[in-house]
Chain A
Amino acid sequence: MNVLAVTEQRDGALRKTSHEVVWAARLLADAMGGTVDALVLGAPGMDAAGAKLGEAGADRVLVAEDASFVKYAPCGYAATAAAVAKTGGYGVVLVAATAGGRDLAPRIAARLDAPLATDATGVSFADGKVTASRPVYAGRAIQQLRFDAPVAVISLRPNTFAPGSAGKAGTVSKVAAVTAARVVVREVKAAEPGKLDVAEASVVVSGGRGLKGPEHFALIENLARAFGSAAVGASRAVVDAGWRPHAEQVGQTGKTVSPQLYVAVGISGAIQHLAGMRTAKVIVAINKDKDAPIFQVADYGIVGDLFEIVPRLTEEIARARAG
């Protein structure tokens, strides 16, 4: 059985998650004895970007271009992906569980009459069946979901599947774009230029109630800046209090993040917060309460007054990175 990897572009550039999805497809297809096709959906001119997906693990790169595909086009993307998925003997369709992919994957599944697993952190093949491994109950349990269908759709949690290199080029060919415009993304309002999203950054610095007021988030922003490219996150308590926007919230009713480094400042570690960050590679906690639950998941902790510790840490990180 073959695997179809549906990739995602923004402003004509393939997103990092596309490489993750293509390589996950490669590993799965190898286990299933099949091939990998990568589907690129975008405005005309995607060939060069698409060609890189051969090296990323695709045997064939299929490019569907239409002027209306410049931004996410929910109906058109779904119709095109489903049309492609009906050809080519695919047993699995993989999509990244980004904001766009979470919207797209169920649409493709419904069009294919295929079962769906969202936000998977693992995919395996045994005894002729595909199984997705996925966190449920806010990461407090791991579910194995097995498919008993000719084709299944699985969305993969970003930052969880490593990209890889095939050491060879794939072929690039065009496929027909199916357009439909019942739901139209009129514009994308960008957040502040250069601002990184918590779900995508490799370093996340989050602040909680311990900061005592929204004005003190400058401390968090400065620390994030010292790391070079870190995103600012926030606990639910401070988002609910209106100190920070919901887009920055990490946890059960916010975003799930899996960065290389997560720094929790003045966050006690409520179960809802831990749900959103426990899969970070390294966790650092700074809190005045040595019994705070955050220290139970933190790799490294400092107990004390964040107003003294964070400026010093900012200074030392900047120095370490400069040296």
Chain B
Amino acid sequence: MKIAVCIKRVPDTETRIRIAGDGASIDETGVKFIINPYDEFAVEEALQRRDKAGGGEVVVIALGPDAGQETIRSVLAMGADRGVLLKAERIPADALAVAKALAAELKDGGYDLVLFGKMAADDYHHGVGPMVAELLDLPCVTAISKLELEGGKGVAEREIEGGVEVVEFALPAVLTAEKGLNTPRYPALKGIMAAKKKPIEIKPAALGEARAIVTSLSLPPDRKAGRIVGEGPDAVPELVRLLRTEAKVL
């Protein structure tokens, strides 16, 4: 089974955000970067599917600056076979521009499955996976928390408000992973050593024209400092009074 996993390098989710001098991006000084957390579920699923199929290849693809190689290397250490870095000075805010570059790379790859995380933890877009599917005219199920594959057909589950959708599709397909799909492995020392010898191909990203432009990035307004109503159960009546008369939510 030949599987592509598209990953993104994002700031650690614990990062304290500072706005850069351009007023439209974050100051990356001292920021630690990690693989987008949702992408780890996609990687784990790819590795398990390859191993269950008794062979094949897991190709990890990232778009962005040179530093993306580190992130690709971390996935190779988990067990992926090879990497592709579609080089771009920075990752555009236009999800469709990114999707076009990925679709161009994936188009003739002969992949049975193309996996993504359901969203990027930095720019909060949920778009690139399903956009790639549309551009490649492939079936797509997003935000899956369960997957069964058999004989070229698949059944996936995705959480919706108040329930779970059970979705059928045929391979090849594009799937995006929700938390809970599996438990991502940690790379073992052996994997880390092996990853050093695995190939990463670097080529320019065929980015579409960026037609969504970040004009400003700002910190959200602080919530007005609240107050401690009191201590212990005796403070409850006062809290209820405030919720009713001041906050007016009862």
Question: Which A residues lie at the B interface, using CB under 8 A?
Answer: 71-72, 74-75, 78, 98-100, 102-103, 105-107, 109-111, 113-119, 131, 134-149, 152, 182-191, 195-197, 199-200, 203, 246-247, 249, 252-254, 260-261, 271-272, 278, 281-285, 290, 295-305, 308-309, 312-313, 316-317, 320-321
With beta carbons under 8 angstroms apart, the residue of A116, A247, A304 that contacts B127 is: A116
- Contacting pair A302 B166 (CB below 8 A): no
Cα separation A109 to B169 with both chains bound (whole Å): 22
With beta carbons under 8 angstroms apart, the residue of A105, A246, A295 that contacts B180 is: A246
In the complex, how many angstroms separate the beta carbon of B219 from the nearest chain A beta carbon?
6
Q: Is B70 an interface residue (CB 8 A)?
A: no
Most buried by B among A252, A253, A303: A253
In the complex, how many angstroms separate the beta carbon of B8 from the nearest chain A beta carbon?
13
Q: Check A145/B214 contact, CB under 8 A, given A185-B167, A188-B164, A282-B247.
A: yes
Q: Is B32 an interface residue (CB 8 A)?
A: no
- Contacting pair A103 B142 (CB below 8 A): yes
- Contacting pair A141 B220 (CB below 8 A): yes
- Contacting pair A300 B226 (CB below 8 A): yes
Size of the B side of the interface (Cβ < 8 Å), in residues, is: 85
In the complex, how many angstroms separate the beta carbon of A309 from the nearest chain B beta carbon?
5
Name the prevailing secondary structure of the A interface residues. mixed
Name the prevailing secondary structure of the B interface residues. mixed
Q: Of B60-68, B78-86, B133-141, B186-194, which binds chain A?
A: B133-141
- Contacting pair A109 B211 (CB below 8 A): no
Q: Which residues of A lie under 8 Å from residue B133 when comparing CB positions?
A: 107
In the complex, how many angstroms separate the beta carbon of B79 from the nearest chain A beta carbon?
23
- Contacting pair B236 A109 (CB below 8 A): no
Q: Which residues of B lie under 8 Å from residue A247 when comparing CB positions?
A: 159
Q: Is B182 an interface residue (CB 8 A)?
A: no
- Contacting pair A183 B229 (CB below 8 A): no
- Contacting pair B99 A119 (CB below 8 A): no
Q: Which residues of B lie under 8 Å from residue A316 when comparing CB positions?
A: 236-237, 240
Q: Which residues of B lie under 8 Å from residue A283 when comparing CB positions?
A: 223, 226
Cα separation A182 to B157 with both chains bound (whole Å): 16
Cα separation A48 to B11 with both chains bound (whole Å): 48
In the complex, how many angstroms separate the beta carbon of A276 from the nearest chain B beta carbon?
12
Q: Is B225 an interface residue (CB 8 A)?
A: yes
- Contacting pair B165 A185 (CB below 8 A): yes
Cα separation A278 to B224 with both chains bound (whole Å): 11
Q: Which residues of B lie under 8 Å from residue A249 when comparing CB positions?
A: 179
